[in-house]
Structures are given as C-alpha cells and as structure tokens.
C-alpha cells in the first residue's frame, strides 16, 4: 500500500498540532508553593501563596507593589501591572501568579488572587463573642 502525499501532509499537520497542544498543556500547569525560596529559584511561572507583608503602593512606573510573606516569615517584593485588587487590605492570604525577575529583584505577578474573610466567618466570630 502506497501512502499518498496528501496523507503525509495530513499526518504532519496532526503531529504539529499535538506538539503545540502538549507544549501549551505543559505551560498551563504552574507549580504551587508557599516558600519564597522555591519561587525565587524556579525558572518557570509559579503560584506563590503567602500573607501580606505590607499594605502596598505604586512605584514610579505606576505598578502596584507590595511585600508577600511566606510561612517562614521571609519577605519578597511583588510587582503587578494590574491595579490594587478590591479588598486588598482585608486579605487573609494572597496568591501571586508569575515568576521571579532577578534584574528587578522582585516577583513579577501576572495575576493576583486575594482571599478575604468570609462574611459567614465574621458572623460566627460575632456570635462567639456575644456568647
């Protein structure tokens, strides 16, 4: 059985599509860490979870910056091009998604996820205080 050139081209296109899909799928997985040291040493994009080490502000370039603190108390400067997230000051914890930039000596965040206290938790705390 002889393979036609059209079939070879079709198989090549499918293999290229599978290759691009695998590459995109690999980049879709970001490791999750709670350690500043792991985030700094990683060459890939990571999700760094921690607590607010500062209330934050804007630098000379108009970027939002703040310090994130890991569970060991180590601080790392986080820089985001996005504006300050809503309820940032009330955050219990924060997850910065991005990578460490040695030139900036900061974690460059593509996205910030803020975990705020639940309104139900506040109600439970008030009920416990009144009892």
DSSP single-letter state for residue 77: E
Computed over its alpha carbons, how large is the radius of gyration of the chain?
22
Q: What is the pLDDT along the chain (131 residues), one digit of tens a residue?
A: 687 888 899 999 999 999 888 877 766 667 888 899 999 998 888 999 999 988 889 999 999 999 999 988 999 999 999 999 888 888 889 999 999 999 999 999 999 999 887 765 555 556 666 65
Stated as kind and residue range, the H or E segment containing 40 is: helix 36-41
Token pair in block for residue 4: 């036609």
Give the Cα separation of 42 and 51 in Å (integer).
20
**Cβ-based neighbours of 13, under 8 Å, separated by 6 or more:** none
Q: In which residue are the tokens 């955050």 written?
A: 91
The domain ranges of the chain are 30-122
| CATH architecture of the domain covering 30-122 | Beta Barrel (2.40)
Q: Is the pTM of this model over 0.75?
A: no
């Amino acid at each position: 059985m002889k393979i036609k050139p059209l079939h070879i081209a079709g198989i090549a296109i499918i293999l290229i599509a599978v290759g691009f899909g695998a590459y995109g799928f690999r980049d879709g997985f970001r490791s999750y860490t709670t350690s500043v040291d792991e985030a700094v040493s990683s060459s890939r994009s990571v999700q760094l979870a921690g607590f607010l080490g500062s209330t934050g502000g804007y630098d000379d370039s108009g970027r939002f910056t703040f310090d994130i603190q890991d569970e060991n108390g180590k601080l790392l400067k986080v820089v985001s091009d996005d504006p300050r997230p809503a309820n940032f000051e009330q955050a219990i914890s924060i997850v910065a998604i991005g990578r460490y930039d040695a030139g900036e000596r900061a974690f460059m965040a593509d996205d910030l996820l803020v975990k705020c206290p639940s309104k139900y938790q506040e109600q439970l705390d008030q009920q416990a205080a009144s009892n």
